[in-house]
Structure 1
Amino acid sequence: MRLTEFWNRMHRHFGEVYAQSWAKDYVISGLGGRTVEQALADGVAAKQVWLAVCQVVDVDPRLR
């Protein structure tokens, strides 16, 4: 998954503004206790980060 597709899915699920805030503030244990932003900055693949997001929030199956 490309990073642009990742952010597209985040924006579609959370909305433009809340997606950025959520990615910055919400710590996900499946990402080693990191936020989305931290995990991406550390080089974790966008697909892996998206799957971790899907495990903690109820994402529309069409976006999975």
Structure 2
Amino acid sequence: MRHSDFQRLADEVFGPAYGRVLVREQVLPKLGNRTAQDALTEGFEPRDVWHALCDALDVPEPERWGGDEHRQAPPPR
């Protein structure tokens, strides 16, 4: 996943305005209490940040990838 894919998903899953606020403001315990924006800036993998954001907001697995059925599937658990 690239940074641009991350932002596109945030816009699609949460809406453009709210998604950008979440990326900038939501503190993510799984990433050492960083925001998604801080984690991305510090070099965290966008896919890991995306999962941390979705986990923090209890986004169900099927809804994490938006409407594109060809997007990357979630990692095996």
Q: TM-score, normalised by structure 1?
A: 0.87
- Between structure 1 and structure 2, the one with the greater Rg is 2
Q: Between Structure 1 and Structure 2, how many residues are aligned? A: 64
The aligned runs of 1:1-20 (5 Å cut-off) are 1-20=1-20
RMSD: 1.4
Higher percent of residues as helix: 1
Higher RCO, 1 vs 2 (CA within 8 Å, ≥6 residues apart): 1
Q: TM-score, normalised by structure 2?
A: 0.74
Q: Distance in 1 between matches of 2:50 and 2:22?
A: 13
Query: Structure 1, residues 2-59: CA drift from partner, whole Å, max 9, x if none?
Result: 1111111100111111111111111010011000110001000101101111211233
Unaligned runs of 5+ in 2: 66-73
Identity over aligned residues, as a percent? Answer: 33
Runs of 4+ off more than 3 Å: none
Unaligned runs of 5+ in 1: none
